[in-house]
Every structure is written in C-alpha cells, then in structure tokens.
Amino acid sequence: MKQSSIQFHNADVVFLLAQKNLLRTWIQKVCKSHTFSVSQIQFVFCSDEYLLDMNQQFLQHDYYTDIITFDNTIGRQIELEAYISVDRVRENAKQHKETITKELHRVMIHGVLHALGYKDKKRADIVAMRAAEDRALITWDKLSSKA
C-alpha cells in the first residue's frame, strides 16, 4: 500500500505555512471520519493572478477564486491537487472578519471536502459543505489545543 502523502508547495509567492505536521494529521483525521484515506494531496499556494490564469485556462472562468481543486480520487483513496490563492484568502479573511489562519484552514478543508464528495453549486449543497467545514474546524481546534 502506498504511503500517505500531504505536501505543501509555493508557486509564485513566498508563503510560510505553520504547523504542517499538525495540518497533515488533521486532514487525515477528517478524511478518515468520512471513511476515506489519503493517498496524495498537494497544496500549492499562489497569487490571485496565478489562480486566475488557471481558472481561465482549465475552467473557462474569468474571475478570481480562493481555490481550484483537481480531484483524481480513486474509490476511497484521496488524490488531490489544490491550488490556493493566498491573496484571496487574506481578502476573504478581512471581509468575513476572520483570522487569516482560520480562513486558510477553511479553504484547505473545503478543497479536501470536494474530494470526499461534497458539492457547492446548489443551496442545499452549500449548506452541507459549510456544516462539514465547521465540523472539520472544530476538529482542528481540538487538535491544535493539545499541541
């Protein structure tokens, strides 16, 4: 069986991510709670412009977004690439009067939840996605308070 791998990379930005090992543990725990396991997840942190280019190129969308995911999950084994705009995360944090760290964690787990089968186009799906994000963030709070 392939070793679980969660990796963090920077594209066109310098971004220092705190608590990487704890983040890996958290993401694996969330996946396990949905009876999935992590094969490979790549998080790539980038700028608004980098993600806008990807949004235009791959999705034919001409707007800024906080995350784009490429889900290659097979069965219950998560394989995911998630590109996250740190510019958008910072802006969203300001707009929602939230810390950048909490907003970043919400965006990261949002991408993972897509691989777990959650959608966010219809109103009912958005409500379910937000509830799953909130549950995952509670799990993060419990984990990080013990660290």
Q: What is the pLDDT of residue 4?
A: 64
Share the mean pLDDT of the chain: 94
Identity of residue 122: K
The more confident residue out of 142 and 2 is: 142
Return the SS3 of 146. helix
What pLDDT digit, counting tens, does each position of 21-31 carry?
A: 999 999 999 99
Q: What is the pLDDT of residue 2?
A: 46
Q: Using an 8 Å Cβ cutoff, are 91 and 98 in contact?
A: no
pLDDT band per the 50, 70, 90 thresholds, residue 1: very low
pLDDT band per the 50, 70, 90 thresholds, residue 146: confident
Please report the domains of the chain, with CATH numbers, ordered by start residue: 5-146 (3.40.390.30)
Average pLDDT over residues 106-121: 96
Q: What is the pLDDT of residue 147?
A: 74
**Global pTM value:** 0.94
Distance of CA 43 to the CA centre of its chain: 7
Please, what is the end-to-end C-alpha distance for the chain in angstroms? Answer: 29
What pLDDT digit, counting tens, does each position of 68-87 carry?
A: 999 999 999 999 999 999 99
Mark out the alpha helices in the chain (DSSP H runs).
20-33, 48-59, 86-95, 100-115, 123-146
Q: What is the pLDDT of residue 79?
A: 96
Average pLDDT over residues 127-133: 97
